[in-house]
Structure 1
Amino acid sequence: MSEFDIIVYGATGYTGRLVAEYLGSRNHGVRWAMSGRSQAKLEQVRDELGLPDQPIVVADADNPESLRALCEQTTVVLSTVGPYQLYGGPLVAACAAKGTGYVDLCGEPAWMRQMIDAYEADAKASGARIVFSCGFDSIPFDLGVWTVQNAARARFGRPAPRVKGRVTKMQGTFSGGTFASARATMAAAARDPQVLKLMIDPFALTPGFTGPSQPKGLMPEYDDTLGAWTAPFVMAAINTKNVHRTNALTGHAYGTDLRYDEMVAVPGLGDVGRMAAEAVAKLNPLGGDKGPALGDGPTRTEREAGHYEIKFLAEMPDGERVVATVTGDRDPGYGSTSKMIAEAAICLVKDVDGAGGIWTPGALMPEPLVKRLEANAGVTFRMEG
């Protein structure tokens, strides 16, 4: 038996600290520790959180031996140390070699594909269950599609070939970590055309399978079902790829003909709504040279004032449809994300076995994770009608 169930790697960072605070405030029945490269900073965060007896494990992404030692001490590593394309590869390699579970917040699809190609065989051989994208990228979307497709099968006897993800409400900001990941991805794409190719390929995370042509989601459009104008959604590039990977890993439980996209609904009727959608389409909140520094993020008040609502519309060829709604009670990127990844790690420890490999939440643990999120993390999944 490992000494710990979960080690939070990156506990001194903005999001890692939120995860540690969440784990330290709950009676969740897991043995956990805080990890990072600085003993002094870890002790400072531990004291500031009021967790004087919390174990500490020092490990550094630049020291492979320390990462191997980290993996030997725990059942699951929860990593918040990004950008993952700069710091994450050695840890994934160590987990895959040692058979250690792993969850992260990665929204970097080109790096994820590199990890799949490099380490999925090792993870299958060792039994390591590696699960990327366990925050707002992409749990609400991955499990939202799972929820609505279950309803489609129950009502129509088969999955829907067309699913729309529509963000209808969202209040929240992003941190320096998210900005740094976006900057690193853009730099990598400028150096390597293959990275750009993966970024625009909806099936970049399903090696060996390419499905039908997908909606682009790049231009404003009017959605008759919502009765609203919609604009491109900045996180669609990663979420859609994870949904297709879930589908592939489950033997195409959603069908081989699935067409899926994500857009954000904007307020306003008629020309006002159209102009608002066009304005959103021109806005890239992660672009440009100015953004928050690493370690920065929204205040507690901002996190607690945040929220989101996403509707998933599953449409059948004859026009019949079912609709599911996912909501979160904190800002999506940090208040809600920190709870989601913590519950995903606990779920991996306590609720599921599963074979080794590189998974998505929706392929490895959808039902128990939905139950945990609804019970503990302020995330709801409900069917309409």
Structure 2
Amino acid sequence: MVDADREFDIVLYGATGFVGKLTAEYLATTATGPGARIALAGRSADRLLAVRESLGPQAQSWPLITADASQPSTLADMAARTQVVVTTVGPYLRYGEPLVAACAAAGTDYADLTGETLFIRRCIDTYHKQAQDTGARIVNSCGFDSIPSDLTVFALYRQAQRDGTGELEDTNFVVRRFAGGVSGGTVASMTELAREASLDPEARRLLNDPYTLTPDRAAEPELGGQPDARWRRGREIAPELDGYWVGAFAMALPNTRIVRRTNALLDYPYGRRFEYAEQMSVGRSIAAPVAAAMATGGNVATMGLGSRFLNRVPRGLLERVLPKPGTGPNEQTRERGHYTVETYTTTSGGARYRATMSQQGDPGYKATSVLLAESGLALALDRDKLSDLHGVLTPAAAMGDALLERLPAAGVSLEVSRL
């Protein structure tokens, strides 16, 4: 169990990267005052110093820690000094495991940004039991992937529970509005995931299983394929979407697995008939059906033919032509970005609900840095509001109620309405 008398509440690892700097900036403006003991960590002391100097007077007393994934002992020392490690260092399949190992061994809570399903599965298989024993919470996917997905479903469950309208059944997440780019880190993560899938038949099998991340595969209900890539009319999801078309959402694969793992970790409060899918709205114009089909086809190709193609391309060549991790758009572009998602559900009692979540800021950069920082703050400062679970967890399973309470003050709107 983590020692509350440790030197720091939060160590931000990867603070010199693009999203790391944004997370540091957010913490510097929101986590001031007593009870927010923060340190910055990364490979280069000089770059850490430059980041700290850019943050203003409120962060100038933050200690700097030099740590590197290639030197596990530095990660172990770092983890032992803090209640929580927040990390932006990916691709996680390549760089993430040593830090998870250090936190699981030290009983230190951990939050990351990964959308790499195979990495999360590896964490579960290797570190879940150890983290349970030491009292660590290893919480994956604390950015735009997958907090909007996980938290909107959790909010729907809480409302249905209060209303006494039964368990969740057919549930659909729909991206209604989205403005922003794809980060270099996300591209690198997806490239790494596709490459591993191309080399390993077992990895491909896991990615095709809707319950990839379940604690107990045999305990899951067989509800059909629950496909990650499909296009259809919006009215098939809810009458409120009549006239719209929806297609595949690029991050449906990791997000859906996170949501289903939450249900299992919490002992199926959503129900045994809970079906979940994710889509994105492509509008209602005459071209919308074509756009929906193209989005779905592109998603299939990325993890199908795309993975085989990536296996034939030298890694060095890909790294030269794809967006680089640690890079991103300028401030004006980040500020103009935004997203709105709607999650619809029908309960076993016949009630229908919609959860709407929206946030200003580029989803992959500014919005993600806020969600990650608030996750770290919840783990560090809201410990009386966290669940009793330990091990490799999801955002909602670890801190669902704490995040529902914390995020509105961070500019994240989440409302549930009965339809």
- Give the TM bin, normalised by the shorter chain: over 0.9
Among residues 278, 289, 302, which one is paired with 1:262 in the alignment? 278
Task: Please say which of residues 33-42 and 313-322 is displaced more in the overlay.
Answer: 313-322
Residue number in structure 1 paired with 2:203 = 195
Shift of 1:20: 0.6
Equivalent residues in 2 for 1:119-158, closer than 5 Å: 119-158=127-166
The superposition leaves residues 215-247 of structure 1 with CA deviations (integer Å, 9 ceiling, x where unpaired) of 214222112121210000001101100100100
Residue 30 of structure 2 aligns to a residue whose secondary structure is: coil
Rounded Cα–Cα distance in structure 2 between residues aligned with 1:310 and 1:26: 25
Task: Please say which of residues 59-68 and 283-292 is displaced more in the overlay.
Answer: 283-292
Rounded Cα–Cα distance in structure 2 between residues aligned with 1:20 and 1:141: 24
Shift of 1:53: 3.0
Matching of residue 11 in structure 1 with residue 15 in structure 2? yes
Among residues 171, 177, 182, which one is paired with 1:174 in the alignment? 182
What amino acid is the match of 1:219? R
What amino acid is the match of 1:261? A
Task: Please say which of residues 48-57 and 129-138 is displaced more in the overlay.
Answer: 48-57
Matching of residue 60 in structure 1 with residue 94 in structure 2? no
Does the CA contact (< 8 Å) of 1:81 and 1:88 recur in 2?
A: yes
Rounded Cα–Cα distance in structure 1 between residues aligned with 2:269 and 2:342: 20
Residue number in structure 2 paired with 1:375 = 409
Note the residue ranges of structure 2 that are not aligned, 5 or more in a row: 311-317
Residue 12 of structure 1 aligns to a residue whose secondary structure is: coil
Does the CA contact (< 8 Å) of 2:171 and 2:346 recur in 1?
A: yes
Residue number in structure 2 paired with 1:293 = 324
Shift of 1:201: 1.2
Residue 287 of structure 2 aligns to a residue whose secondary structure is: helix
The structure carrying a bigger helix percent of its residues is 2
Residue number in structure 2 paired with 1:315 = 346
Rounded Cα–Cα distance in structure 2 between residues aligned with 1:321 and 1:152: 9
Residue number in structure 2 paired with 1:75 = 83
Rounded Cα–Cα distance in structure 2 between residues aligned with 1:259 and 1:349: 33
Residue number in structure 1 paired with 2:313 = none
Equivalent residues in 2 for 1:286-365, closer than 5 Å: 289=318, 290-316=321-347, 320-352=351-383, 354-365=388-399
Shift of 1:346: 0.7
Residue number in structure 1 paired with 2:36 = 30
Rounded Cα–Cα distance in structure 2 between residues aligned with 1:200 and 1:383: 31
Does the CA contact (< 8 Å) of 1:217 and 1:231 recur in 2?
A: no
Q: How many residues align?
A: 383
Does the CA contact (< 8 Å) of 2:180 and 2:333 recur in 1?
A: yes
Rounded Cα–Cα distance in structure 2 between residues aligned with 1:101 and 1:160: 30
What amino acid is the match of 1:366? G
The superposition leaves residues 244-284 of structure 1 with CA deviations (integer Å, 9 ceiling, x where unpaired) of 01000111000112110000011133x42212212333445
Among residues 227, 232, 237, which one is paired with 1:221 in the alignment? 232
Does the CA contact (< 8 Å) of 2:389 and 2:397 recur in 1?
A: no
What amino acid is the match of 2:215? P
The superposition leaves residues 135-182 of structure 1 with CA deviations (integer Å, 9 ceiling, x where unpaired) of 011111101001112223334531121111111111111211111101
Residue number in structure 2 paired with 1:183 = 191
What amino acid is the match of 1:36? G
What amino acid is the match of 1:89? E
Does the CA contact (< 8 Å) of 1:174 and 1:298 recur in 2?
A: no
What amino acid is the match of 2:413? T
Rounded Cα–Cα distance in structure 1 between residues aligned with 2:389 and 2:148: 23
Residue 214 of structure 2 aligns to a residue whose secondary structure is: coil
Residue 373 of structure 2 aligns to a residue whose secondary structure is: helix
Give RMSD over aligned pairs. 1.8
Does the CA contact (< 8 Å) of 1:343 and 1:372 recur in 2?
A: yes
